[in-house]
Structure formats: structure tokens, C-alpha cells
Amino acid sequence: MLIAAGAELEQLRMQVARLRRMAFGRSSEKLTHQADQLELGLEEREAEAATAAMPVVTRTRETARPYRQPLPDHLPRTEVVHEAPCVCPDCGGAMRRMGEDVTEQLDYVPASFRVVRHVRPRLSCRSCERIVQAPLPSMPIERGRPGAGLLAHVLVSKYANHLPLYRQSGIYARQGVDLARSTLADWVGRSAALLGPLVDALERHVMGGATLHADDTPVPVLAPGAGRTRTGRLWTYVRDERGAGGEAPPAVLFHYAPDRKGERPAGHLARFRGDLHADGYAGFDRLYGDRIAEVACWAHVRRKFFDVHAATGSPTAREALDHIAGLYAVERDVRGRLPDERRHARQARAGPLLDAFRQWLDATGPKLSRRSDLAVAIRYALARWQALTRYADDGRLEIDNNAAERSLRGIAVGRKNWLFAGSDQGGHRAASIYSLVETARLNGVDPEAWLADTIRRIADHPARRVAELLPWNYRPV
């Protein structure tokens, strides 16, 4: 019975994974809903399986205890001492301490509100009657009531945890604090304005790199007066040089645009000079030349052959996938090494693989119907061959554009958040906050703790040194 239940669980897990892959990037609410429902069923089955697997017979002999990961050291500890009787239950003699056993349990304390009272005593000089009083510290929102911690929590809940403001309002109401959705929306707007100089500093850092990853994704925008949504775009630009042993902090910059016209990325990248990892979007073509070099994405090439193989089981598509797998095997070995080492390894190992794959593409393409999906995949690769192979001669470059695609996953998950009231301004605000939250994540920094600290300090921080507040400079107290 347990074996059958395990097989059923594995099948459910595979179905969930398949639906998640299908739903990602395709705006399919139906597929996402199916995956969500299946996920709920999976949770119930896993709970049942865990119960069924519990032993019903008391152990008669000691067995080796399985290794358990220790609980994180940084978490605060609350100690509860369970005192044993001080008198021996057998003879009534006094007991002495001979050691202790400690068992740690992970618990959760729900987030709670608090009121911070800023008390400023007024002092009067007994000699001259001069009155002095400490100045009120800078508030995140002038004459506003929210503290930095609350603002950070609202921002991270919306843009990192995908919790819309109306849901946050309901959660706070259950805790006895009435915060209307419109109030929270006002705080989001004011916070975005307060953090604007930091976003500008982040943009200077991102655009100052020699290599970038770029991509975009659709987002629904509430059309003013129409009562329906239209489609805007969020563009992402990622600077991440860690794969080539770079020491520059990774960062991501989002820009919102109401459409996908080529002038949008042209404006975003006006100050950039270097190599651009991107997909085959035609709007980027106008940028390539002396200032910006195209670096095409092998993941896109692989995806086209993978789709053909998944749909038809084509052995020819399987051959293409095997060629590409060889290229990625080289990348696994060179990740994190310095650019010169990567270039030498790629030229020695990936160079022959690229030559062999090119010969295969040239020989296989003419044998296929031009209308077949496999022929389309081959033409896609051949049309971008120079941009696809540029990485092999430059150790700073990556084989694909996955860094940009990863930065968009949170938006794909939380797409229902992106209903911007009335105008595109909400889109620009969201892009700003999302840039800060995702950059904190890239640097292994807790976005909420960092934002709370930054919102608390930014009003009094020298404007010319605002870059000191970027996530990679944050040190938790």
C-alpha cells in the first residue's frame, strides 16, 4: 500500500512540474489554476503519506538516528527550563545536577504591530528661560504615521511575496489595525519617490558594466476608464559577472513601458556600451553595431529543439539536443573561473563541438520540409550563428540569457499584482521597487531588513553618497 501511495505521489509531482513548466511565460491562468489545484491535492496526499508512514509498533532496539540539519544559528533562542523534582522519588535524598539534555524546536511568532512613541522633553533654562527640545527625527513619510519597518513590510509583501494590497489590508484588519487599500497604495507611491535616488544609483551601476542580460515580459495594466486591462511590458537588465569570476556586485534593473516598441530598449540602453545577452527580439537589432555587440542565447535554441522532441519524439531533434548538451557540459566546468581560463577552455573544448554542430545543421536542414518545426529551429540557430558563438572567444560572456529570465520569474508568479490603477505611473513605481527587491535577493540580502534600514536612513543620508545604501553595502546590526 505504501509503495502504491509513493508511486501516486511521484506521478502527482510530475504532473505539477509539467503544468508549472507549461504555465510559466505563457500567461495561462487555466494552466496555473490547474497546477494550483493539483498542488493542493499533492499537499493532502503527502500529509496522508506522512501519517501512514508513521510507525505503529514501539521500537524494541536502538537504531542509529538519522542526521538532522541543525537549526540556523542566527535565530534568537528562547530557553524553557523544565525542572525535575529536587528530591529523589525513591529514597527522598537531595538531588545534584549532573548535566542536561537540550532539544531545539523551530517555532513561529506571527508578525505584530507596535506603536513607537517619539517623546521629546521640552527643557527650560532656569537662568534665562531659554527653551530647548530635541528635533523630531526624519520620518519616511512627512507627517505620515507608518514607520520604516511597516513600509518595508508592505513593499516586500507586494513585490516579493506577491500579496496584493487588498489582501494585506484584510490581514492587518484581522490583527486589529484598519489600513485601507488606498492608504497602503499611497504609502507605496511615497516610498517609491523616497527611494528614487537609490534606483538612479542602481541604474548607474547596472549600465556601467561591460556585459548585460536583457529580456521582457507582459504585464496587465488597468486601462483608465475602460474597466478592463491592456498589456504593458516590464524590461529587465541584469548585470551579473560572477560566472566569470567578476567581483562587481550583481544587480537587476527593471523598466516599465506601455508597449514593446523598439524605442523602449533603445532608451533604456542609451548609456550602455558593451555586450548584450538577449533573445531574438527584433527591437534589439537597431542597437547592435559599434556600441553594442549581440550575444545570442543557446537556451532559446535548445528550447526549440526540445519542444519538437517533446511533441514528436524526433530522433533528429534528439541529436540536436545532444550537441547542445555537450556545450553546457563545458560551461559547468568553467563557471566561476577567470575570463582567460574560460576562453582557453572553451576554445579547446567547445570550439570543436560548435564546428561539429554547425556541420550537422548545414547537412540536416536541406533534408527537412521548410515548414516543419524542426526546420524552423535549425534556421533559427543558423541565422544567429555568429552571435551564438561569440561567447566561445570571450570568457566574460555567458552561453545563454538565463540570468535575465531568472529575474522575471517572480513577476510570472505574481502577475495578478500588476493591475496599475488609472495610469502607467504605477508600472514605473513597481519597476523601481522590484529593481531594489530583486537586487537585494541577488546579493543574498534579506529585502525587508535592508529596505527597513534604508528607508529609515535615506532622508538624512548625503545625496552624493547614496550608493552607500545599495544592498551589497548593507550590514545587519
CA-based nearest residue to 345, from 301, 393, 378 = 393
pLDDT of residue 425: 84
pLDDT of residue 436: 98
Most confident of 161-165, 290-294, 421-425: 290-294
Q: How long a stretch of residues is the chain?
A: 477
357-415 pLDDT per residue, tens: 999 999 999 999 989 999 999 999 999 999 999 999 999 999 999 999 999 988 877 66
32-86 pLDDT per residue, tens: 555 554 554 444 444 445 445 555 544 445 555 566 778 888 888 888 888 888 8
HSE-CB of 346 using CA atoms within 13 angstroms: 26
pLDDT of residue 237: 98
CATH class of 196-296+403-473: alpha beta
Q: Which of 30-39, 261-270, 343-352, 427-436 has the lowest mean pLDDT?
A: 30-39
31/356: higher pLDDT:
356
CA distance 93 to 86: 9
Classified as helix, coil or strand, 368 is coil
Average of per-residue pLDDT values in the chain: 85
pLDDT of residue 227: 64
172-190 pLDDT per residue, tens: 999 889 999 999 989 999 9
H or E element: which one contains 122?
strand 122-124
pLDDT of residue 129: 86
- The model's pTM: 0.79
325-361 pLDDT per residue, tens: 999 999 999 999 999 999 999 999 999 999 999 999 9
Q: Which of 14-23, 238-247, 391-400 has the lowest mean pLDDT?
A: 14-23
Place 167 in a pLDDT band, splitting at 50, 70 and 90. very high
pLDDT of residue 422: 46
CA distance 340 to 215: 27
pLDDT > 80? residue 204:
yes
DSSP E strands in 192-278: the ranges are 211-222, 229-239, 251-257, 274-277
pLDDT > 90? residue 283:
no
CA distance 356 to 260: 37
CA distance 84 to 87: 9
Place 139 in a pLDDT band, splitting at 50, 70 and 90. confident
pLDDT > 60? residue 30:
no
pLDDT of residue 113: 85
pLDDT of residue 40: 46
Place 90 in a pLDDT band, splitting at 50, 70 and 90. confident
pLDDT of residue 52: 54
pLDDT of residue 63: 53
Q: How far is CA 116 from CA 113, 119, 150, 248, 419, in A?
A: 10, 9, 12, 38, 33
pLDDT of residue 421: 46
DSSP state of 49: H
pLDDT of residue 431: 93
H or E element: which one contains 404?
helix 402-407
The rounded percent of the chain whose pLDDT value lies above 90 is 53
Percentage helix, strand, coil for the chain under 3-state DSSP, each rounded to 5: 50, 10, 40
Place 440 in a pLDDT band, splitting at 50, 70 and 90. very high
Most confident of 17-31, 132-146, 432-446: 432-446
pLDDT of residue 18: 63
Cβ count within 10 A of residue 187: 21
Q: Would you kindly state where each structural domain of the chain is located, as residue ranges?
A: 196-296+403-473, 298-400
pLDDT of residue 336: 94
